[in-house]
Amino acid sequence: MRYSYSGWDGTQEINPLDPSELLDLLADDLFQDGDLRSALERLMTRGARRPDGERLQGLRDLLEQLRSRRRDQLTHYNLDASMDDIREKLKGVVEQERQGIEKRVQDAGQSDAPQEIRDLLKQVADRKRQALDNLPPDMGGMFQQLLDYEFMDETARSNFDELVNDLRQKMLGNYFEGMKQGIQNLTPEDLAPVREMIKELNKLLSKHLSGQDTDRDFRDFMDRFGHMFPPEIEDIDDLVEYMQRQAAQMASLMKSLSDDQRSELQQMMEQLLRDDRLAWDLAQMAGLIEAITGEPLGRQFPFAGDTPLGLDEAMDLFGRLGDFDELERQFQEAMRELDAGHIDPDLAERLLGPEAAAMLEEVRRLTRTLEEAGLIRQGGRNLELTPKAIRLLGERALKEIFDELRSDRTGQHDTRLRGQGSEQLMETKQWEFGDPFLMDIGKTVSNAIFRSGPGTPVKIDVKDIEVYRTESLVSASTVIVLDMSMSMIRSGAFAEAKRVALALDTLMRSRFPRDYLELVVFSYFAVELKAGRLLQSDWSMNPRGTNIQEALHRARNLLNKRRSSSNRQIILITDGQPTMYTASDGQVVRGWSPYEWPRYSPEAMEETLKEVKRCTLDGITMNTFLMAGDPELVAFAKLMTEINKGRVFLTTPGRLGRYIFFDYLKGKSKVL
């Protein structure tokens, strides 16, 4: 089979995840710590491998694309040449002026003008040449003196005026987008409207900074000066955000230039204004913006490329770099707030392209998809799983465990079987009083014919009746006692045990509704849980300490409320020996110190074995699943079995579900 590939053109579709697939992607994290918010955050941030094999990119992947594109810009361009264009234009103006002077002198020498006029022109030309010869070598100084220089050549004057207007447009037009065209031919005297606007802007910003109501002031300001700003500015916050973005371009340029270049450009900017008040107002405006936002304007960018940039290109590039920084800020806020709605999709598409924008939209839909499917909901200030989601996760866990059982050929357990306390088998037996009347008609008739001989009608006696044997389903009450120690969490055993417990709860609800399941989770104390709460985090405890005694005590109390059950059992899942116990007064007694050896408590072991004996006297069976093979732990487990006559299984997280389910299902059946 041949495949053809093409670049992204916006017409391709990314198959959206359906809610159940999305829940599957969250499952492992949910079993790990039960924190839905953290699971969603990890999925949104890190992405995941989709069921179809494609990768769902997370915000971290898209953020790395963003950073990579910014690095490409910085490693491609060289900012050192940004002032060369101005320097070359200034040199061109000076050279044009020299040529113009020479032409004026030559033209005068060939004219019929009086000698006195020609001599006067020569004197002026000499002074002009001297002035040009004495121009400072630095660009800022040269620019300053040319501003006061009276040109003899009209072309040189025109070129210089064009340069001045261009620089003024870049400087002020950079702050005020709407002024870029209108400001090009302004003289210093024509800057009065600009001075007035900046003065009023500073008043507005000062009032906003002090926390006063500025709604009316903002409307009045925009009525007067709105033509100098983009139309999308609707309130004071939009105005501050816009001014911050615009001012940051010039600030970043200044910070990224070398010291000499920065000094030259600063000197030129001061001379362009020729107005100390306007310069001061611009500086005040920058300070107010920084005070309002709490962030410095612009930053230094480390350019390391070879491609030269002119000043025009540099200003455009700093605008893009500012957009990169803004989009990165939005990504970080989205990851922090677990809400991709903080990211501007248009900005993301402009900087990262349509494919990344489509991936971003997929991430944006994650939470909404789960909410609309009724799988998560807002519980107070946090998101929580709905009963529907917990049921689906239980069914998923149950299917996985049965798949594992089939792959190991340790048993074929078809969950489609139904029954009210018994299952019909293919074997038959002679009917006895009290048996379910599941008659095998063929064998019953055969028995009658064999007894009385052929002929009709066939006379059937009670002794002829053959019925199917049945498999009685024993009602069971089970408490899973689950160790939540740090070692269980680190090894993955705790997460696997939660998966098994939820799957077992699902099996009981669907096939064995008369059975009972409860959980007791313990570390230095114990808590009782329903299976559905396993995927919540509000019950989490400090995972230090192993109080098996209290956990067994709670499990025994729960099972003693179910004395009608014919089979009551405790499933203990642990990887450690007792290190503490709960005294009769309710106080937890620590019999072990992390700085002592051995790392278990003889007193806690003794109290735990007493509780095992109480369970035994109450007719409760204990089956222990050890998640570690330490000789001391195995020896302690054997002590419990000597008292209780239960069984011990040495297993691993990957096989825990198979062991528990096989043992549970095997214990359900007794052939009658």
pLDDT at 177: 55
Segment 453-466 shows an average pLDDT of: 79
Coil vs helix vs strand at 187: coil
pLDDT higher than 90, residue 169? no
Rounded-to-integer distance, Cα 152 and Cα 128, Å:
8
- Say how far apart CA 178 and CA 89 lie, in whole Å: 27
Q: What CA–CA distance (Å, rounded) separates 196 from 190?
A: 11
- The confidence score (pLDDT) of residue 1 equals 34
CA distance 234 to 563: 71
Mean pLDDT (the chain) is 81
Q: What are phi and psi of 622, to 5 degrees?
A: -115, 125
Q: Is the pLDDT of residue 551 over 90?
A: yes
CA angle, residues 391, 396, 399, in degrees to nearest 5 = 125
Residue 10 has pLDDT above 50, yes or no: no
Whether the bond into 578 is cis, omega within 30 of 0: no
Provide the 3-class DSSP secondary structure of residue 607.
helix
> Mean pLDDT, to the nearest integer, of 107-132?
85
**Distance (Å, rounded) from C-alpha 535 to C-alpha 394?**
10
**Mean pLDDT along residues 558-564:** 88
Contact 518, 608 (CB under 8 A): no
- Joined together, the tokens standing for residue 72 give 């490409």
Give the residue-averaged pLDDT of 34-38: 79
Angle at 666 between CA 665 and CA 668, to 5 degrees: 65
Q: Measured between alpha carbons, how far is 542 from 176 in angstroms, rounded to an integer?
A: 57
User: What pTM does this model have?
Assistant: 0.63
Flag whether pLDDT at 23 surpasses 80. yes
**Contact at 8 Å (CB) between 247 and 175?**
yes
Q: How confident is the model at residue 186 (pLDDT cuts 50, 70, 90)?
A: low
Pairing assessment for the beta strands 307-308 and 55-56 based on DSSP bridges: unpaired
- Any idea what the Cα angle at residue 364 is, between residues 361 and 366, rounded to 5°? 115
Per-residue confidence (pLDDT) for residue 407, from 0 to 100: 59
Residue 469's pLDDT is 67
The predicted pLDDT at position 481 comes to 93
pLDDT score of 30: 83
Structure tokens at 613: 């004996």
Q: What is the pLDDT of residue 538?
A: 60
pLDDT at 410: 38
Q: Which of 159-163, 455-459, 492-496, 609-613 has the highest mean pLDDT?
A: 609-613
Q: Are 69 and 323 in contact (CB under 8 A)?
A: no
Handedness of CA 544, 545, 548, 554 (dihedral sign): negative
| Contact partners, residue 521, CB within 8 Å, separation at least 6 | 482, 484, 527, 529, 539, 541, 551
CA-closest candidate to residue 534, choices 478, 494, 567: 494
Q: What is the pLDDT of residues 269-298, one digit of tens each?
A: 877 776 667 778 888 998 999 999 998 888
Category of 380 on φ-ψ map: left (φ > 0), alpha (ψ -120 to 50) or beta: left
Query: Residue length, the chain?
Result: 672
Do the beta carbons of residue 643 and residue 612 sit within 8 Å? yes
Phi/psi of residue 507, nearest 5 degrees: -60, -45
How far is residue 53's CA from residue 513's CA, in Å, rounded to a whole number? 37
Residue 575 CA: distances (Å) to CA of 155, 497, 629: 91, 12, 8
pLDDT of residue 535: 79
Note the pLDDT of residue 414: 36
**Contact criterion met (CB below 8 Å) for 517 and 510:** no
- CA 400, CA 114: separation in Å to the nearest integer? 110
Token pair 């993955």: residue:
492
Q: Do strands 516-522 and 526-529 pair parallel, antiparallel, or not at all (unpaired)?
A: antiparallel
| Cβ-contact 442, 530 below 8 angstroms | no
Looking at residue 12, what is its pLDDT?
Answer: 43
Query: What confidence category does residue 121 fall into, taking pLDDT thresholds of 50, 70 and 90?
Result: confident
Confidence class for position 556, pLDDT limits 50, 70, 90: very high
Q: Which residues contact residue 15 at a Cβ distance below 8 angstroms, ignoring those fewer than 6 apart?
A: 52, 54
Tell me the domain boundaries of the chain.
81-311, 420-471, 476-671
Q: Which of 639, 651, 643, 646 is nearest to 600 (CA)?
A: 639
CA atoms of 312 and 321, how far apart (whole Å) = 14
Per cent of the chain over pLDDT 70 is 85
Average pLDDT in the 555-559 region? 95
Nearest-angstrom CA–CA distance, 271 and 463: 122
Task: Quote the CA–CA distance of 148 and 144 in Å, as a whole number.
Answer: 7
How much is the average pLDDT of 593-621? 81
What does CATH list as the number for 476-671? Answer: 3.40.50.410
Upper half-sphere CA count for residue 270 (Cβ side, 13 Å): 12
DSSP-derived secondary structure letter, 152: S
State the sign of the Cα–Cα–Cα–Cα dihedral 436, 437, 443, 444: positive
What is the per-residue pLDDT for 361?
85
As a whole number of angstroms, the distance between CA 292 and CA 206 comes to 9
Which tens digit of pLDDT belongs to each residue from 49-84?
Answer: 877 777 778 889 999 999 999 999 999 998 877 788
Say what percent of the chain tops pLDDT 90. 25
**Which range among 59-68, 269-278, 365-374, 553-562 shows the weakest confidence by mean pLDDT?**
269-278
Nearest to 485 by CA among 535, 525, 517, 519: 525
Question: In the prediction, which pLDDT does 114 show?
Answer: 82
Is the predicted pLDDT of residue 3 greater than 70, yes or no?
no
Indicate whether 100 pLDDT > 70: yes
Q: Confidence band (pLDDT; 50, 70, 90) for 215? A: very high
- For residues 573-592, give the mean pLDDT: 84
Distance CA 587, CA 398 (A): 39
What is the pLDDT confidence band of residue 499, given thresholds at 50, 70 and 90? confident
* Residue found by looking up tokens 């660009």 in the block: 139
- Residue 73 confidence (pLDDT): 92
Tokens 């192993």 belong to residue: 546
User: CA 348, CA 338: separation in Å to the nearest integer?
Assistant: 18
457 prior amide bond cis, ω within 30: yes
Query: Which residue in this structure is represented by tokens 């709604």?
Result: 215
Please report which confidence band the pLDDT of residue 646 belongs to, taking 50, 70 and 90 as the band edges. Answer: confident
Helix, strand, coil distribution of the chain in percent, nearest 5: 60, 10, 30
Between 459 and 520, whose confidence is greater? 520
Query: Taking residues 329-355, what's their average pLDDT?
Result: 88
What was the pLDDT predicted at 413? 35
